[in-house]
Protein backbone atom coordinates (compact mmCIF):
# COMPACT_ATOMS: atom_id res chain seq x y z
CA UNK A 1 0.00 0.00 0.00
CA UNK A 2 1.25 3.45 -0.85
CA UNK A 3 0.24 6.28 1.43
CA UNK A 4 0.49 9.98 0.85
CA UNK A 5 -1.24 13.12 1.94
CA UNK A 6 -1.30 16.73 0.79
CA UNK A 7 -2.82 18.65 -2.08
CA UNK A 8 -3.25 16.89 -5.42
CA UNK A 9 -4.12 18.41 -8.77
CA UNK A 10 -6.35 16.28 -10.96
CA UNK A 11 -6.13 16.39 -14.73
CA UNK A 12 -8.73 14.92 -17.04
CA UNK A 13 -7.24 14.40 -20.50
CA UNK A 14 -9.24 15.74 -23.45
CA UNK A 15 -9.35 12.27 -25.02
CA UNK A 16 -11.38 10.80 -22.15
CA UNK A 17 -12.61 7.41 -23.39
CA UNK A 18 -16.26 6.31 -22.95
CA UNK A 19 -15.07 2.95 -21.59
CA UNK A 20 -13.42 4.82 -18.69
CA UNK A 21 -16.71 6.60 -18.03
CA UNK A 22 -18.46 3.27 -17.38
CA UNK A 23 -15.82 2.37 -14.79
CA UNK A 24 -16.15 5.78 -13.13
CA UNK A 25 -19.94 5.45 -12.95
CA UNK A 26 -19.60 2.01 -11.38
CA UNK A 27 -17.12 3.23 -8.77
CA UNK A 28 -19.18 6.34 -8.06
CA UNK A 29 -21.62 4.02 -6.30
CA UNK A 30 -19.03 3.56 -3.51
CA UNK A 31 -18.35 7.30 -3.04
CA UNK A 32 -19.69 8.67 0.22
CA UNK A 33 -19.15 10.75 3.32
CA UNK A 34 -17.92 9.20 6.51
CA UNK A 35 -17.90 10.84 9.93
CA UNK A 36 -14.35 10.63 11.22
CA UNK A 37 -14.21 9.29 14.79
CA UNK A 38 -11.35 11.52 15.94
CA UNK A 39 -12.19 14.77 14.16
CA UNK A 40 -16.00 14.33 14.22
CA UNK A 41 -16.52 15.89 10.80
CA UNK A 42 -17.62 14.61 7.37
CA UNK A 43 -14.82 13.30 5.15
CA UNK A 44 -15.64 12.65 1.50
CA UNK A 45 -14.27 9.32 0.20
CA UNK A 46 -14.12 8.00 -3.34
CA UNK A 47 -12.28 5.29 -5.25
CA UNK A 48 -10.68 5.47 -8.69
CA UNK A 49 -9.47 2.62 -10.83
CA UNK A 50 -6.11 2.64 -12.56
CA UNK A 51 -3.34 0.30 -13.46
CA UNK A 52 0.24 -0.28 -12.41
CA UNK A 53 2.67 -1.21 -15.13
CA UNK A 54 4.58 -4.40 -14.31
CA UNK A 55 6.59 -4.49 -17.52
CA UNK A 56 6.41 -2.89 -20.98
CA UNK A 57 3.55 -5.20 -21.97
CA UNK A 58 1.87 -6.06 -18.69
CA UNK A 59 -0.08 -4.08 -16.16
CA UNK A 60 -2.26 -4.95 -13.21
CA UNK A 61 -5.33 -3.14 -11.89
CA UNK A 62 -4.96 -0.71 -9.03
CA UNK A 63 -7.59 1.05 -6.91
CA UNK A 64 -6.86 4.32 -5.14
CA UNK A 65 -9.01 5.56 -2.28
CA UNK A 66 -9.12 9.33 -1.82
CA UNK A 67 -10.30 11.09 1.31
CA UNK A 68 -11.03 14.81 0.90
CA UNK A 69 -11.28 17.32 3.73
CA UNK A 70 -10.50 21.00 4.47
CA UNK A 71 -7.51 22.67 6.11
CA UNK A 72 -7.60 25.80 8.31
CA UNK A 73 -7.76 28.08 5.23
CA UNK A 74 -10.73 26.16 3.82
CA UNK A 75 -8.68 24.62 1.00
CA UNK A 76 -9.22 20.98 0.06
CA UNK A 77 -6.65 18.48 1.27
CA UNK A 78 -6.39 14.84 0.23
CA UNK A 79 -5.28 11.58 1.74
CA UNK A 80 -4.78 8.76 -0.72
CA UNK A 81 -3.96 5.11 -0.38
CA UNK A 82 -3.55 2.53 -3.12
CA UNK A 83 -4.83 -1.08 -3.13
CA UNK A 84 -4.45 -4.03 -5.50
CA UNK A 85 -8.18 -4.85 -5.43
CA UNK A 86 -11.50 -3.06 -5.09
CA UNK A 87 -12.46 -5.38 -2.24
CA UNK A 88 -9.39 -4.35 -0.22
CA UNK A 89 -10.09 -0.66 -0.85
CA UNK A 90 -13.72 -1.02 0.28
CA UNK A 91 -12.74 -3.05 3.34
CA UNK A 92 -10.20 -0.42 4.39
CA UNK A 93 -12.71 2.40 3.79
CA UNK A 94 -15.31 0.61 5.94
CA UNK A 95 -12.94 -0.26 8.79
CA UNK A 96 -9.91 2.02 9.04
CA UNK A 97 -10.78 5.25 7.21
CA UNK A 98 -12.82 6.41 10.21
CA UNK A 99 -9.75 6.65 12.43
CA UNK A 100 -6.78 7.45 10.15
CA UNK A 101 -4.60 10.46 11.00
CA UNK A 102 -5.22 13.26 8.47
CA UNK A 103 -2.52 15.92 8.19
CA UNK A 104 -3.53 19.59 8.26
CA UNK A 105 -7.22 18.85 8.82
CA UNK A 106 -9.41 21.54 10.34
CA UNK A 107 -12.57 19.86 11.67
CA UNK A 108 -14.36 23.22 12.03
CA UNK A 109 -13.63 24.18 8.42
CA UNK A 110 -14.55 20.71 7.15
CA UNK A 111 -17.83 20.73 9.07
CA UNK A 112 -18.69 24.28 8.06
CA UNK A 113 -17.98 23.69 4.34
CA UNK A 114 -18.13 19.93 3.72
CA UNK A 115 -16.81 18.58 0.45
CA UNK A 116 -19.74 17.77 -1.84
CA UNK A 117 -22.15 19.54 0.51
CA UNK A 118 -25.06 19.18 -1.91
CA UNK A 119 -24.65 15.42 -1.76
CA UNK A 120 -24.87 15.44 2.07
CA UNK A 121 -27.99 17.58 1.86
CA UNK A 122 -29.49 15.22 -0.73
CA UNK A 123 -28.69 12.13 1.41
CA UNK A 124 -30.28 13.75 4.47
CA UNK A 125 -33.35 14.71 2.40
CA UNK A 126 -33.69 11.13 1.12
CA UNK A 127 -33.47 9.75 4.67
CA UNK A 128 -36.12 12.20 5.88
CA UNK A 129 -38.37 11.30 2.93
CA UNK A 130 -37.97 7.58 3.65
CA UNK A 131 -38.76 8.17 7.35
CA UNK A 132 -41.89 10.20 6.62
CA UNK A 133 -43.13 7.62 4.09
CA UNK A 134 -42.66 4.81 6.62
CA UNK A 135 -44.66 6.69 9.27
Encode pLDDT of 28-51 as tens digits: 889 999 999 999 999 999 999 999
pLDDT the model gives residue 36: 97
- The domain ranges of the chain are 3-134
Query: What is the C-alpha radius of gyration for the chain, rounded to an integer number of angstroms?
Result: 17
SS3 for 50-105 is EEEECCCCCEEEEEEEEEEEECCCCCEEEEEEEECCHHHHHHHHHHCHHHCCCCCC
Q: What are phi and psi of 55, to 5 degrees?
A: -145, -170
> In the predicted model, is pLDDT for residue 80 greater than 60?
yes
pTM: predicted TM-score of the whole model, two decimal places: 0.69
> In the predicted model, is pLDDT for residue 16 greater than 70?
no
Amino acid sequence: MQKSSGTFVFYRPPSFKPSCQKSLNRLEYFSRHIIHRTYECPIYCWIVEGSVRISHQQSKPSYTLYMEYRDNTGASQYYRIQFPSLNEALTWMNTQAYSIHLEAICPASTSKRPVRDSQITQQNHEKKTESSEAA
